[in-house]
Amino acid sequence: MTSRPEWLSRAVEPAYTLVLALVIVGPLLGPGYLLLRDAVSTPRSFLTDSALGLSDAAARAVPQDAAIAVLSAVVDGGLAVKTILVAALWAAGWGAARMVAALFPARGTFPRPSVGVGGRLLAATVTMWNPYVAERLLQGHWSLLTGYAALPWVVIATTRTRRGKPRGWPVLATALAAAGLTPTGAVLASLLALVLLVVPAGPVRVFGSSDYQKRAQGVRRVGIGAALAVVASAPWLVATAVSGAGAEGDTAGVAAFAARAEPWLATTGSLAGLGGIWNADAVPGSRTTPWALIATAILLAVVALGLPAVWRARRSPVVVALAVLAAAAVVVPTLAATGWGLAVGEWAVVHLPGYGLMRDAQKWVALAVPFYALSAAAGVSVLASLARRVFADDPAPTRASRAGAAVVAIGAVLLSLPDLAWGVGGALRPVHYPEAWQRVTALVEGGAGDVAVLPAGTFRRFPWSGDAPVLDPAPRWLPLDVPQTGRLIVLFGGGSTIAGEGDRSAEIERLLIGGGEPGDLTNLGVGWVLVEHDTPGTPGDGELLSALDRVHDDENLTLYRVPGTPTEYAPGTAARVAVVSAHLAWAALLAGGVLGCVAGRGRARRADQP
3-state helix/strand/coil string of 63-91 = CHHHHHHHHHCCCCHHHHHHHHHHHHHHH
Confidence of residue 3 (pLDDT cuts 50, 70, 90): low
**Which range among 102-116, 269-283, 577-591 shows the weakest confidence by mean pLDDT?**
102-116
Q: CA 22 to CA 17: how far, in whole Å?
A: 9
Give the C-alpha distances (Å, rounded to integers) separating 41 from 54, 91, 234, 260. Answer: 20, 21, 24, 28
Residue 228: predicted pLDDT: 98
CA 209 to each of CA 205, 213, 215, 216: distance values in angstroms, whole numbers, following the listed order: 8, 6, 10, 11
> For residue 9, is pLDDT > 70?
no
- Binning pLDDT at 50, 70 and 90, where does residue 29 land? very high
Element (H, E) at 148: helix 144-162
> How long is the chain?
610
Cis peptide before 170 (omega within 30 of 0): no
> Tell me: the pLDDT tens digits for 552-599?
999 999 999 999 999 998 888 999 999 999 999 999 999 999 999 999
Domain ranges of the chain: 6-426, 436-561
Is a pLDDT exceeding 50 seen at residue 526? yes
Q: 3-state class of 198 per DSSP?
A: helix
Whether 203 has a pLDDT exceeding 60, the answer reads no
**Residue 7 above 70 pLDDT?**
no
| Digit-coded pLDDT (tens) for 16-26 | 999 999 999 99
Question: What mean pLDDT do residues 334-341 have?
Answer: 94
Q: What's the pLDDT score for residue 180? A: 98
Q: Contact 453/530 with Cβ under 8 angstroms? A: yes
pLDDT, the chain, mean: 91
Instruction: Tell me the average pLDDT across 59-79.
Output: 96
**Mean pLDDT of all residues in 242-267:** 81
Q: Answer whether residue 94 shows pLDDT above 60.
A: yes
Tell me: cis bond preceding 308? Omega within 30 of 0 counts: no
The per-residue pLDDT for range 407-463, each reduced to its tens digit, is: 999 999 999 999 999 999 999 999 999 999 999 999 999 999 999 999 988 899 999
201-208's contacts with Cβ under 8 Å and 24+ in sequence apart are 201/162, 201/317, 202/315, 202/316, 202/317, 203/315, 203/316, 203/317, 204/162, 204/163, 204/317, 206/164
Residue 538 has pLDDT above 70, yes or no: yes
In this prediction, residues 530-542 reach a mean pLDDT of 93
DSSP state letters, 310-322: HHHTTT-HHHHHH
**Inter-residue contact 475 to 486 (CB < 8 Å):** no
354-376 pLDDT, tens digit per residue, is 677 678 999 999 999 999 999 99
Coil, helix or strand at residue 369: helix
Instruction: Give the pLDDT score at 493.
Output: 46
Lowest mean pLDDT among 3-12, 91-100, 539-548: 3-12
Task: Give dist(CA 135, CA 608) in Å, integer.
Answer: 43
245 pLDDT above the threshold of 90: no
State the burial class of residue 602 (Cβ atoms within 10 Å of its Cβ: 0-12, 13-18, 19+). Answer: exposed
**In a 3-state reduction of DSSP, which class is residue 551?**
strand
Q: How confident is the model at residue 215 (pLDDT cuts 50, 70, 90)?
A: confident
Q: Does 112 have pLDDT greater than 90?
A: no
**491: pLDDT strictly greater than 60:** no
